[in-house]
Amino acid sequence: MNKIIYLLFFCAFCACQHTSNHHSISTLDSLSSLLQSDSTDINLLKKRADIYINNHEYYLAKNDIDRAYTLFKNDIDLLLKRGEVYFNLNKTKTSKESWERCLKINPNQIECRQKLTELLCLVRSPQCKNMIDTLALVNSGIVSLPLIVALKELGEYKLAVGFLDDFIQSSPMNKEALSLLSIIYSDTSSFNNYFNTKLAEECFQKI
């Protein structure tokens, strides 16, 4: 009986995957056909690039993004995609330029600021902490876990714990946040004023 249920589930899963892939291919064909009629339609180029990005075909996405960018350089959605595509192609300089341009157009664009901040912290830029502070200000105090990890690496334990406390208040059972807080409480670095084995154990027990 269990084998029959498993086979039915597997067949249903394969059917869903086939339907999804078929839909993606059909949409791609339709967009390609429309672009043959008008290769300067930025919205069509962005939509086709989205499909390529979802399929991890970043070089194909890059072709559409580059074409759209030559037509109009101040589209925020396009700049977001451009930064993402070039980041996945390990061309972070272009990613940085794209997200910086995005913020020049709209300094309050959260996603652009988030991605630029994560990139700067990833490459250990001196701007990392200031960018996190600004992001928190414009994003109602919300900071992502990767950026909280960056603060810990910078030795900014007070900020890291503060942002983690806020994060856990909204997501009390988030295992990654609890794990990170437990790590900070158990960190024996001389400049960590938050070393507390009891609190570390309490966080660990909730995971």
- Note the pLDDT tens digit of each residue in 105-120: 999 999 999 999 999 9
Which pair of tokens denotes residue 175? 């295992």
Looking at residue 4, its pLDDT comes to 39
Looking at residue 6, its pLDDT comes to 36
Q: Which residues of the chain have pLDDT under 50?
A: 1-22
Looking at residue 24, its pLDDT comes to 55
Can you tell me the distance from the alpha carbon of 65 to that of 192, in angstroms, rounded to the nearest whole number?
Answer: 45
Can you tell me the distance from the alpha carbon of 190 to that of 181, in angstroms, rounded to the nearest whole number?
Answer: 17
Can you tell me the distance from the alpha carbon of 179 to that of 192, in angstroms, rounded to the nearest whole number?
Answer: 17
